[in-house]
């Protein structure tokens, strides 16, 4: 028996899935976060652990491991990381960015665009073998439209309203979240949160928006606009004729219908022929559509 392993190493957790020669899932394992910018040593350890756990469940030969790693677009050194992982799992490994893996899963080999908005965010396009990247600069410099950005934006809006002593639905959200009396007491506990903990608040903020909170809606609309502008930038960088497929993935886009609708409306006001779809769940599946060979 031979099999391939796809690994989605994201900012919250790492998922490794093995597929047989017919593309059927054979085994799966999960471990901790795999973002190598957030924690290089810990991220690589979690990636290797997930791969080894899958290998332990199967007999036969692993002919290829494709690892999509959050933070790799910033860190670089793909060949070095591929080699480091390969040595520990005794199999050929190709390391790519998590957004490239999502692209392979969402577009299934076709040209087009993948838009990822989960803990972080990035837009990747491909046209005639040429890759285009917009955004993906991490939580300090970018991550527009991500869960992290939504939570930070909401916190900023609540603080701005607090300074003006204006009412804002986001103020009680944060004071209740941190079990404090006023917004002034929210700063310290907010700064103590790690990246996934901050991002985890986005779903409840989206819930406030769905329930009619104009303050929460404004945050969702602002982040949707920022992400839509990145999609428009990617379209503008394509040569004519432009590939018009857009695949959406990541927890924010898969769960938040309001966000998706706002993004689609803004993009279609510039590119009416754009078509949107949700990527199949589980980006590790991208290994089935990867035609490149590992270099180790």
Tell whether 184 and 70 lie within a shared domain.
no
- The per-residue pLDDT for range 133-186, each reduced to its tens digit, is 999 888 899 899 999 999 999 999 999 999 999 999 999 999 999 999 999 999
Using alpha carbons, list the distances in angstroms from residue 113 to 9, 122, 125, 233, 273.
20, 11, 4, 12, 14
pLDDT computed for residue 12 by the predictor: 80
Structure tokens at 177: 């979240």
* Residue 203 belongs to a domain: yes
Same domain, 272 and 285: no
* pLDDT mean over 8-20: 92
Same structural domain for residues 145 and 171?
A: yes
Report pLDDT for 291. Answer: 82
Residues 13, 211: Cα–Cα separation, whole Å? 29
**Tens digit of pLDDT for each residue in 174-216?**
999 999 999 999 999 999 999 889 999 999 999 999 999 999 9
CA dihedral 11, 221, 232, 283 (to 10 degrees): 30
Q: Are 170 and 161 in contact (CB under 8 A)?
A: yes
Q: How many CB atoms lie within 10 A of CB 197?
A: 12
Q: What is the pLDDT of residue 171?
A: 98
* Domain membership flag for residue 122: no
Per-residue pLDDT band for 129 (boundaries 50, 70, 90) equals confident
pLDDT of residue 70: 86
- Asked if residue 236 belongs to a domain, the reply is yes
Q: What local confidence, expressed as pLDDT, does residue 77 receive?
A: 87
Predicted local distance difference test score (pLDDT) of residue 90: 93
Indicate whether 102 pLDDT > 90.
no
Which pLDDT score, from 0 to 100, does residue 276 have? 97
The pTM of the full predicted model, rounded to 2 decimals, is: 0.80
Same domain? For 145 and 264 the reply is: yes
Query: Are both 76 and 145 inside the same structural domain?
Result: no
Mean pLDDT over residues 124-138, rounded?
Answer: 91
Same domain for 104 and 75, yes or no, is yes
| 2 closest CA partner among 51, 61, 64, 66 | 61
Residue 128 lies in a domain: no
Residues 149, 101 within the same domain = no
Crossing angle of helices 147-164/214-237, nearest 10°? Answer: 130
What is 153-222 written as a DSSP string? HHHHHHHHHHHHT---THHHHHHHHHT-SSGGGTHHHHHTS-HHHHHTTHHHHHHHHHTT-HHHHHHHHH
| pLDDT per residue as tens digits for the range 21-31 | 999 999 999 99
Q: Evaluate whether residue 47 is within a structural domain.
A: yes
- In sequence order, the 6+-apart residues with CB closer than 8 A to the CB of 9 are 33, 34, 35, 43, 46, 47, 50, 67, 68, 69, 70, 98
Confirm if 4 and 21 have CB atoms less than 8 A apart. Answer: no
Quick one: tokens of 284? 């590790």
Q: Note whether residue 133 is domain-resident.
A: no
Write out the two tokens for 21. Answer: 């020669």
Interatomic CA distance for residues 93 and 65, integer angstroms = 5
Among 77-81, 113-117, 222-226, 276-280, name the most confident range: 222-226
Both 98 and 148 in a single domain? no
Mention every residue, 6+ apart, whose C-beta is less than 8 A from residue 55. 5, 18, 62, 89, 91
Q: Are residues 94 and 196 in the same domain?
A: no
List all residues 6 or more positions away from 54 whose beta carbon is below 8 Å from its beta carbon. Answer: 5, 16, 17, 18, 27, 28, 29
**Would you say residue 115 lies in a domain?**
no
Alpha-carbon distance 46 to 13, whole Å?
9
Domains: count for the chain: 2
Q: How confident is the model at residue 38 (pLDDT cuts 50, 70, 90)?
A: confident
Give residue 7's domain range: 2-110+281-289
Residue 58 inside a domain? The answer is yes
Query: By C-alpha distance, which of 21, 17, 6 is closest to 60?
Result: 21
**Residue 89 in this model has a pLDDT that exceeds 90:** yes
Task: Kindly state whether residues 142 and 238 are assigned to the same domain.
Answer: yes
Do residues 63 and 144 share a domain?
no
CATH number where 234 lies = 3.30.420.40
Mean pLDDT rounded to a whole number for the chain: 93
d(CA 124, CA 235): 10
What residues pair up with 6 in beta bridges, in sequence order? 17, 66
Same domain, 98 and 146: no
């Amino acid at each position: 028996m031979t099999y391939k392993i796809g690994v989605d190493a994201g900012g919250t957790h790492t998922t490794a899935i093995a597929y047989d020669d017919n593309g059927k899932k054979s085994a799966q394992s999960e471990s901790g976060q795999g973002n190598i910018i957030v924690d290089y040593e810990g991220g690589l350890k979690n990636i290797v652990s997930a791969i080894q756990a899958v290998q332990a469940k199967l007999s036969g030969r692993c002919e290829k491991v494709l690892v999509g790693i959050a933070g790799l677009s910033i860190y670089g050194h793909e060949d070095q990381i591929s080699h480091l992982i390969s040595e520990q799992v005794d199999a050929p490994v190709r390391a790519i960015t998590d957004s490239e893996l999502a692209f392979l899963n969402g577009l299934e080999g076709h040209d087009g665009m993948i838009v990822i908005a989960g803990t972080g965010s990035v837009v990747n396009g491909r046209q005639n073998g040429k890759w285009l990247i917009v955004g993906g600069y991490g939580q300090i410099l970018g991550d527009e439209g991500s869960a992290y950005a939504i939570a930070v934006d909401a916190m900023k809006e609540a603080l701005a309203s607090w300074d003006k002593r204006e009412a804002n639905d986001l103020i009680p959200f944060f004071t209740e979240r941190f079990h404090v009396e006023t917004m002034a007491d929210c700063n310290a506990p907010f700064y103590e949160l790690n990246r996934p903990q901050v991002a985890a608040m986005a779903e409840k903020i989206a819930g406030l928006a769905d329930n009619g909170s104009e303050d929460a809606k404004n945050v969702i609309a602002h982040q949707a606009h920022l992400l839509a502008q990145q999609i428009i930038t990617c379209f503008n960088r394509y040569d004519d004729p432009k590939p018009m497929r857009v695949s959406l993935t990541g927890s924010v886009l898969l769960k938040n219908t309001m966000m998706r609708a706002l993004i689609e409306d803004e993009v279609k006001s510039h590119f009416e022929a754009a078509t949107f779809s949700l990527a199949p769940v589980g980006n590790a599946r991208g290994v089935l559509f990867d035609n490149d060979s590992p270099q180790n």
